[in-house]
Structure 1
Amino acid sequence: MQDEERIKPVNIEEEMKSSYIDYSMSVIVSRALPDVRDGFKPVHRRILYGMMDMGITHDKATKKSAAIVGEVLGKYHPHGDSSVYGALVRMAQPWAMRYPLVIGQGNFGSMDGDGAAAMRYTEAKMSQVGEAMMQDIEKETVDMNRNYDNSRDEPSVLPTRIPSFLVNGATGIAVGMATNVPTHNLSEVIDGTIAYIDNPDIDTEGLMHYIKGPDFPTGAYIMGNVGIKSAYETGRGRVILRAKAEIEAGMQHDKIVISAVPYGTNTADLCRSIAALSNEKKVEGIANVNDESDRDGMRIVVDVKRGQNANVVLNKLYKMTGLQTSFAVNCIALVPIPGTHPAKMRPQLLTLKECLRHFVEHRHDVVVRRTRFDLRKAQERQHILKGLIIASDNIDEVVRIIKASKNTQVAMEGLMERFALDELQARAIVDMRLGQLTGLQQEKLHEEYDELARKIEYFNQILSDPELCKKVIKDELLEVKEAYGDERKTEIMPDMTNFNAEDFYPDDEVVITISHLGYIKRTPLAEFRAQGRGGVGYKGSSTRDQDFIEYIYQATMHNTMLFFTAKGRCYWLRVYEIEEGTRQSKGRAIQNMLNIDPDDRINACLHIRKLRDEDFCKSHYVVFATQQGIVKKTCLTEYSRPRTNGVNAININEDDRVVSVVLTNGSDEIIMANRNGRAVRFREEAIRTMGRNATGVRGMVLDGGDDEIVGMVCVNDPERETILVVSEQGYGKRSLVDDYRITNRNTKGVRTLNITDKTGKVVAIKSVTEEEDLMIINRSAITLRLHVADVRLCGRATQGVRLIDLKKRNDAISSVCQVPADDEEEVEILEGEDGATPITETPESPEVNE
């Protein structure tokens, strides 16, 4: 029966709600969130108070951390020792606290993420800044609460002279809320606080004239002040932090030297992430990364491979590693609820001005309470001095009364009756030493009394004059600034986070080559000097066995390359992203740069400067030609949004492949050529615009057998352009565009080159002008550059002239492209691979009519 009476039924929903609210409020108020007045959570406050009780100030010897933790645990903080020691360690780390509150002796961890040694091995004491947080606590400046077992008092807040909430920041995760406040420069915060005291109506912009922004202990850079202003105006903002790095030029290669990292960055993890990006080929150009930091400072060195642009590598590292991070400001703290005493606290999102206001109000309260305490003590001492002065003025009578008294109590009563003294004054006279009866000591009593009178008047002025009280607060803040202020560590830079790699590359002309086995590189056009028609050429790439240069394109560094595969997919790459190489270098496998299927390959390219120009894209078209004579036209807009995995560019039949792609303006003319030496010319309007996934229409009728389309050109200016065709054995010729009559598409066309055993089949067709040069590469990697003007005009059906001298019997033309003319004079050329003497000019072969 008794058990039934003790059981009380409750609603489980209400009980859970009530219990969780109690728990969450306990976490919010008593554990996770700092007090806006002193910037401390209870554990930090108790550590400093416990250290002060132990007397381990900055001018004393350090004591074992275990002793400090035991003191705090036993008297004030009945929780785990790891929480107390963890907080103590952080208060001593100069990379975590802008102004450390504890001086640590021993291993207190490192920026590499190393943990501190066990508390039995380390020692600590208060720093001068930590002592400034405790100053005047003995003068009843703050409310004291009973500790967890009601055995002693502990402060509810510290009477700090330092605006620690902003200066050292705070971080914590409560229930349903979190706080993350960055550190600031003490001198700037004090200047801003004084400005607020002088003008309580000052706005955020006015405060930012003094408080420029966060100042982190690790230095580095803050990129822009937009996030700073948002955080100061609303309490929330996003600050972009960037490492301090410089590029050191070297004889062999450049180095990126990192001397400061963003706040909270683990340097060991940073080095590992840089190395991983290099190993995974996500960031090209990194040869090695090494942490050379020592006691003199941080130094992380990233070696950049020869020929790579260190600025581009650095900016990629900013984007992909901890060299650039963001600090999400969330300024939530506990603030006193007005009208409650002792002050009850509640969490609140605070602006910069509100943080300063709460600190100034706290300092005002501390100064007033301290002044009242000093005034009371001064008045008490003055009261005692008044009695001592009376006694000194009547010393003979005082001595007589004391001497005649039976005991101390009787003597005190006699003095109180004779001189109208109270008990305190009488006791002070009875306890007075004989040495105080000298004339000098009597004079000191009068001086002390007068000094106390002046102090009492000053204290009363402080309590009665608000302006004088403000002056006291400002003077004390200036003293703190003078004692502990320093220069900023974190520089605020203009916002340059929108990195544009084009800014680091001049828009130079380059030649892009793709080998038969899929190796790609870019080479400065200037490396290919013009030679005479019929020359042997330069030694080209050192390709693998059975590999040769198959495609060659001319572009500039700021162009966007559109790569089209045989299967009809499109991929994008900026020209400056292609690895640079010399004429002799092999290049890099394109499969490592683009997500191309293993059984697919690049067959055509376009280089476009204005891919981001919407009007340009809408007015231009991409025209495809396939091996089986199919053509298709699609608006360039369909290919203007790059995607990592590429897109379908054209629907290709199973036995077909893309062989050529050109860019048109909608009113150009198209000329297609086949292997057997025929070409067809028709207007672009004959092809209707289709989508990316369309197959296209018939452009040219083939002869059957092994016949196929070898190329397609776009004619924009028939009066200026000429049609160049090149055969396998190095023969070629130019013909007027008008030599090819305009027909409809889906026809066989007309003769464009007289095919013989000496010439071989047609391998290329190009639209050229006399202001251009021609680049010819054969399968043995020999490259020839010659002036188009050196190839004279011939009839449409002629055999042409020799363009390049193929010394090897099994050699053949691999690729042809036109490039801007080389203005430099012709120079002696290098020997060919087989050691043959270069030929600078070969007599023209006679024209051979059909």
Structure 2
Amino acid sequence: MNPTQNRPAGPVGDEERILDVDVSDEMQGSFLEYAYSVIYSRALPDARDGLKPVQRRILYQMTEMGLRPDRGHVKSARVVGEVMGKLHPHGDTAIYDALVRLAQSFVQRVPLVDGHGNFGSLDDGPAASRYTEARLAAPALALTDGLDEDVVDFVPNYDNQLQQPSVLPAGYPNLLVNGTTGIAVGMATNMAPHNLVEVVAAAVHLLEHPDATVEELMRFVPAPDLPSGGTIVGLDGIKDAYTTGRGSFKTRARVSIGPITARKTGITVTELPYLVGPEKLIEKIKDGVQSKKLSGISDVNDLTDRRNGLKLVIGIKTGFSPEAVLEQLYRYTPLEDGFSINSVALVDGQPRTLGLKELLRVYLDHRLQVVTRRSEYRLARRRERLHLVEGLLVAILDIDEVIQVIRTSDDAEAARTRLEDVFDLSRLQSEYILELRLRRLTKFSRVELEAERDQLLADIAQLEALLASPALLRRSVGDELESMAERFGTPRRTLLTEARPQPAGASRRAAAASLEIADAPCRVLLSTTGRLLRVDLGDEPGVPTPARRSKHDAIRSEIAGTTRGELGAVTDRGRLIRFSPVDLPAAPVHSVQLAAGVKVGDYLTLEKNERVIALVDFLADAPIAAGTAQGIVKRVAPGAWPNRPDFELIALKSGDAVVGVGQGPDTDELVFLTSDAQLLHFPAGSVRPQGVAAGGMAGVKLGANARVLFFGTVDPAASPVVVTVSANDGALPGTDPGRAKVSDFTEFPGKGRATGGVRSHAFLRGEAGLSLAWVGIAARAVGADGSQRILPVGGSRRDASGTPLQGVVHSIGTGIGANAPVADGSPVD
């Protein structure tokens, strides 16, 4: 097409100039100009202050507006308008987005803007600029401090009417501390935030050791420190990023596995990976459950609030391994997320990919130049002031003659000339004296001027020494950086862990199957201090090996079963509660630590002041025997148990309570031990089994004010022992250790049911009765905190009075496993 066709004719006599331009050349040139503008003026940060132009202009304009941390907030729309009208004519949306990002604590490791109002979250955007308010945060002042001292170059704004800084002084390495992200034309940048204290330590080390390697700097900066916390898994990619400027690492949420209700285990999430919001995570979990990628999850609850912060609770279905479910969550949800580092920044106006050492070096060179220019500026100002002060001192020393010279002069010009000639002053000094107010002509003013002169001379000498010594200059920069770390530094939030290799070759179906806990043999332990623990036996038959490294607690009850099977817990109120040990904390068979168990009340639903007495296998063939504090005994025949989660095992009378439960064949002995030291045992076969609704029958005849302290079943062939502990009359509970005695069970002859038994302990004067009694094998006494108490040597006569204890005994049980140490007085190690 002819470019002159359809062109309106110009006025007569006007000369029209038409240039033929190749479209491809025009497009190429325009695109290059656009790409350069985006790279240099919009998308990439300057390596010196770590800011993009819009961020720098926001901070500078807010400084000019006086929006300091000690002033009130102003509308964000006002800040946006000032920045757009004077410095950044690219639209209010871009400016407000940058302002919001500077204020978001979940994006910036050290926020630069103090926002008031809804500045958004990881899942929701901020309110409009007319609804929010802003002012500078204290760390932002460290970036702009010194702008009035000629520390950086100023350049014209877009219309050449105002001046703006080409870079900020940057009192700390903001690019590393807060990171950045940006997409330009043909390149992009993505840098993670770091800990201010660590970055400053590395910068100071590089100042003192310019030849330091990346490995040495990583001793101070081991990895990024993300605002949201979390955990960084593996450091190899981070080392690559610090060396070459490119690398990647994985972040995981900070989680804990534990009971969330009495019968339910869950995964509690308190910190998420960087830039991952809770709503996004919940949505991904729901999608994974619906698509069958995730198994074993019952629900997800968001319990986040302002007081306690982030808290997501992921419920685990019964029978699923929480650890296996957590691995699935890491694989299919943002609970584990990756971060790619691409450290691209502007250096001398050119985009460069920088490693950790290069980033610190560019910043330190900039900071050294800033301190040098600031020192030169301050030196010049102090020299100017010293020149004026010296002139004033000359005038004050001979003030009468100065006044005479001025009064006899025809005009100001003549007075100035005569002052210069008479007192040998410069033009600046003479003008300053002519403008001097009379109230300065006092003796006190002279003292002030002399003090000011001395201070100026000292400052000038210090600044000259600083400018003359590169070592002093570097030390000054290092001191200022350490001051920044003390003022604005915070502890590290992100944990660092080594990467764990993922199993290779496992199919998705096999991974899903491994989520469920296998129905393997186990033993469930109930401690005397009320903790439940599951011991997984695996393929090893028999009883777990005793854990001689465990120095805490003793076993009240121990029952064999399977992981996914059903057991029963009998309480002091005669209630039997069904439960499965599948969700109990598990311990390996060769390292049982009772302290790792869970409190009974946290796993089973108990009523107020209700206690679990024993564990039973109500599906076994052996009857269950229960004894009460009022001397009632009952054996319950196995078989038709009520199909309810809990039911009454024995109907108790008012004021009565179950004190012990046993389970065994008819050949076992049922044993009662009372508070007045009467021991009665008789064959279990002598008690006829009853149904669950029955109330039992008389077991032992009690004396006046006596009650049953112990009831249980023992196998006489297992060589049980009898432990009794007496209490002093009138002593407060838990204060007097008392006297203890350990006797062989064979010392006590058997008698018939409902009789009084035989004496098991001889009381001394002042002793009111027994405080504790126990019959069984491998006796172990513990205090209230579960720590061991030493019992006397066994073999005492059944009617002996015992020996004094060294510490108060809270409860007595058995050791862990069949081969646990017996009550021979030797400590368990």
The reply to whether TM is greater than 0.5 is: yes
The answer to whether structure 1 residue 70 and structure 2 residue 81 are counterparts is: yes
Corresponding residue to 1:468 among 451, 467, 472: 472
- In the other structure, the counterpart of 1:179 is 189
Q: CA deviation at 1:5?
A: 6.0
What per-residue deviation string (whole Å, max 9, x for no partner) do you get for residues 383-418 of structure 1?
Answer: 111111110111111111122233333322221121
Q: Deviation digits for residues 194-246 of structure 1, max 9, x if unmatched?
A: 00000111000000011111001000011121111010001001111000000
How far apart in 1 are the matches of 2:279 and 2:520? 42
Looking at structure 2, the residues matched to 523 and 269 of structure 1 have their Cα atoms a distance apart, in angstroms, of 33
Q: Distance in 1 between matches of 2:440 and 2:16?
A: 75
The reply to whether residue 459 of structure 1 matches residue 469 of structure 2 is no
C-alpha separation between the residues in 2 aligned to 1:205 and 1:225? 12
- 1: CA distance, partners of 2:297 / 2:32: 54
Distance 1:525 1:242 in 2: 31
Post-superposition shift, 1:501?
Answer: 13
Report what 2:732 is aligned to: none
Query: Would you say 1:319 and 2:314 are equivalent positions?
Result: no
Paired amino acid for 2:461: E
Which residue of 96, 114, 132 maps to 1:85? 96
Distance 1:213 1:526 in 2: 44
Query: Does residue 53 of the first structure (1) align with residue 57 of the second (2)?
Result: no
| Residue of structure 2 equivalent to 1:149 | 159
CA contact (8 A) 1:278 1:284 kept: yes
- The aligned residue for residue 356 of structure 1 is 360
Q: Distance in 2 between matches of 1:294 and 1:521?
A: 33
State how 1:19-30 maps to structure 2 within 5 Å.
19-30=30-41
2:317 is matched with 305
Distance 1:286 1:445, change over 3 A: same
1:33 to 9, 20, 44: 44
Q: AA paired with 2:297? A: I
Which residue matches 2:644?
A: none
1:281 maps onto 2:276 in alignment: no
Shift of 1:459: 1.3
TM-score in terms of structure 2 length: 0.60
Of 384, 388, 403, which aligns to 2:392?
Answer: 388
More moved, 265-274 vs 14-23? 14-23
Listed as ranges, the matches of 1:763-778 within 5 Å are none
Provide closer, same or farther for how the CA distance between residues 332 and 210 of structure 1 changes in structure 2, counting only shifts above 3 A.
Answer: same
- Is the CA contact 2:320–2:517 (under 8 Å) kept in the aligned structure 1? no
**277 and 441 in structure 1: CA distance in 2 versus 1, 3 angstrom threshold:** same
CA drift of 1:826 comes to 12
- SS in structure 2 of the partner of residue 78 of structure 1: coil
- 8 Å CA contact 2:321–2:517 kept in 1: the answer is no
The corresponding residue for 2:488 is 484
Offset from partner CA, 1:640-671 (integer Å, 9 cap, x none): xxxxxxxxxxxxxxxxxxxxxxxxxxxxxxxx
Q: Residues of 2 paired with 1:121 and 1:310: CA distance?
A: 44
Contact persistence 1:223–1:497 (CA under 8 A): no
C-alpha distance in structure 1 between counterparts of 2:404 and 2:209, whole Å = 63
1:499 deviates by 6.2
Tell me the amino acid that sits aligned with residue 309 of structure 1: S
Q: CA deviation at 1:521?
A: 9.2
Partner Cα distance (1:189, 1:85) in 2: 29
Letter in 1 for 2:256: E
Q: Which amino acid aligns with 1:208?
A: M
Superposed, which structure 2 residues align to 1:397-476 within 5 Å?
Answer: 397-476=401-480
Q: Please list every run of 5 or more consecutive structure 2 residues that lacks an aligned counterpart in the other structure.
A: 507-512, 523-537, 541-562, 568-663, 667-829
* Partner in structure 2 of residue 681 of structure 1: none
d(CA) in 1 for partners of 2:503, 2:191? 28
1:312–1:501: 8 Å Cα contact kept in structure 2? no
Q: 1:247: which partner in 2?
A: 257
| Residues 1:290 and 2:285 aligned together | no
Give distance in 2, aligned partners of 1:5 and 1:151: 33
Alpha-carbon separation, structure 1, partners of 2:17 and 2:109: 56
Cα deviation digits, residues 261-299 of structure 1 (max 9, x gap): 010102111111112222332211111101111112110
Structure-1 residue corresponding to 2:519: 524
| Aligned residue identity for 1:78 | P
Contact kept? 1:523, 1:582, Cα under 8 Å:
no
Count of matched residue positions in the alignment of Structure 1 and Structure 2: 519
* Structure 1 residues 834-849: aligned runs within 5 Å: none
Question: Residue by residue, what CA displacement relative to the aligned partner does 1:503-556 show, whole Å, maximum 9, x if unpaired?
Answer: xxxxxxx9x9xxxxxxx99963659xxxxxxxxxxxxxxxxxxxxxxxxxxx98
Provide the identity percentage: 41
**Which of residues 89, 94, 108 is equivalent to 1:97?**
108
Q: Distance in 1 between matches of 2:258 and 2:166?
A: 53
Structure 1 window deviating more from structure 2 (164-173 vs 448-457): it is: 448-457
- The secondary structure found in structure 2 opposite 1:417 is helix
Equivalent of 1:194, from 181, 185, 204?
Answer: 204
Aligned 8 A contact 1:38 1:157 in 2: yes
Shift of 1:495: 1.2
Counterparts of 1:521 and 1:127, CA distance in 2: 51
1:126 CA drift (Å)? 0.2
Partner Cα separation in structure 1 for residue 439 and residue 213 of structure 2: 62
CA distance in 1, matches of 2:476, 2:516: 72
Q: TM-score, normalised by structure 1?
A: 0.58
Return the alpha-carbon distance in structure 2 between the equivalents of residues 526 and 170 of structure 1: 55
Check the 8 A contact 1:315/1:499 in 2, yes or no: no
Return the letter of the residue paired with 1:478: E
Residue of structure 1 aligned with 2:174, choices 156, 164, 169: 164
Question: Which residue of the partner structure matches residue 9 of structure 1?
Answer: 20
1:814-833 superposed matches below 5 A = none
Following the alignment from structure 1 to structure 2, what is the Cα–Cα distance between the partners of residues 372 and 71? 32
Q: Note the C-alpha offset of 1:176.
A: 0.5
The DSSP-based 3-state class of the residue aligned with 1:524 is coil
Distance 1:462 1:145 in 2: 28
Q: Which residue in 1 is equivalent to 2:350?
A: 346
Counterparts of 1:326 and 1:143, CA distance in 2: 39
- Cα distance in 2, alignment partners of residues 129 and 499 from structure 1: 46
How many angstroms does 1:15 deviate by? 2.2
Alpha-carbon distance in structure 1 between the residues aligned to 2:246 and 2:55:
25
Per the alignment, do residues 254 and 439 of structure 1 end up closer, same or farther by CA in structure 2, a change over 3 Å counting? same
Q: Per-residue displacement from partner, 1:427-456 (whole Å, max 9, x unpaired)?
A: 111122222222121011111111111111
